[in-house]
Amino acid sequence: MDEMVRYYYFFTGRVQSVGFRYKASFLAQAYKLTGFVKNEYDGSVSLEVQGPEETIDQFVEELRTDRVIRIYSMSKERLDLVVGEKDFKVKF
């Protein structure tokens, strides 16, 4: 079994009003990842995601290659695992 990891991502670009949160939620459920995604007031999107590293990489790559979403910059920071987290949420 792959090691579980958790990352915080911060995305800028055309990432609001293009279905980013819906796509992230859909993909996270499909990949069985947990965490959350949230629009920020400055037009950016923040996301925390937990699961196997390779699966998270695939998840992020699908967001990056979406035909409507345009990510101009992305930062990534490793976080401590959230024990007992069961799902992926869209936060408002």
Catalytic residue among 6, 14, 21, 67: 21
Indicate if 21 belongs to the active site: yes
8, 23, 2: which is closest to 82 by C-alpha?
Answer: 8
Beta carbons of 88 and 35 less than 8 angstroms apart: yes
92 confidence band (pLDDT: 50, 70, 90) = confident
Catalytic residue among 39, 64, 67, 78: 39
Indicate if 67 belongs to the active site: no
Distance CA 74, CA 11 (A): 5
pTM score of the predicted model: 0.94
Distance CA 50, CA 47 (A): 10
Task: Tell me which DSSP letter residue 2 carries.
Answer: P
pLDDT in tens, 2-61: 799 999 999 999 999 999 999 999 999 999 999 999 999 999 999 999 999 999 999 999
